[in-house]
Amino acid sequence: MAVAGSSYRPSATPTLLVASDYGGEHARAEYQTISVLLADLRGLIASWEPRRRDVRSRFANDGRRLSYKKLGDRQCAKMLLPFLSAANYLPGIVATFLIDRRIKSFFRVARDRTEDLVVDPTTWKPKAFEKLLRVAHLGSLLIAGMSCERQNILWVTDHDAIAANLKKHAEATNVIASVLSGYLQHSLGPYSCRNRTER
């Protein structure tokens, strides 16, 4: 596990932002990656957002997205270092987990015991449901350790198989909430989960 922003500590911010992104889905990848950012939403709006907007206005005012897959695009390549410099102002912590893709499942027992789950896993593709459980457990572990009493949680997930449509998104939200409740030793405020394409 790689962790950045280790000086971050939970604060009295009303809302803890949790953002997750995933990689290693292509056939030649040796590892699946699950990255989770926990950030002070109020501080993020004050310190990161103005810098993000400035970088985009200088390098990407045409709406293009920055991604490592597109660094062959000269404009995206120019944007990379200013974007990473701006990211230093994110008031939070990011953890990236690498999982050997030879590991097929962590949750075979849970999948067999459908009565313990808030959704029916047989309505999901096995790989997608496995991924959902991994994201839910790893993210919840971080939230349990980094959140404060009565903080609100806003979880933003990348748009992929675990939130492929409105039905799956709603089910994923319920699964994450159920898993999170098992890790917490304190009470949180309201929890919501959004797709990053939502406005």
Query: Do residues 193 and 157 lie in contact, with contact meaning Cβ atoms separated by under 8 Å?
Result: yes
Name the nearest CA neighbour of 22 among 12, 6, 11, 35.
35
Joined together, the tokens standing for residue 11 give: 């604060």
Whole-angstrom Cα distance, residue 30 to residue 185? 35
Question: In this prediction, what percent of the chain has a pLDDT beyond 70?
Answer: 87
Higher per-residue pLDDT: 114 or 169: 169
pLDDT at 99 over 50: yes
Domains of the chain: 2-195 (3.30.420)
Distance CA 7, CA 92 (A): 9
Q: What is the pTM of this model?
A: 0.83
Residue pLDDT, tens place only, 64-97: 777 777 777 888 888 889 999 998 888 889 999 9
Q: How far apart are CA 62 and CA 118, in angstroms?
A: 42
Query: How many CB atoms neighbour CB 30 within 10 A?
Result: 9
pLDDT of 151 reads 92
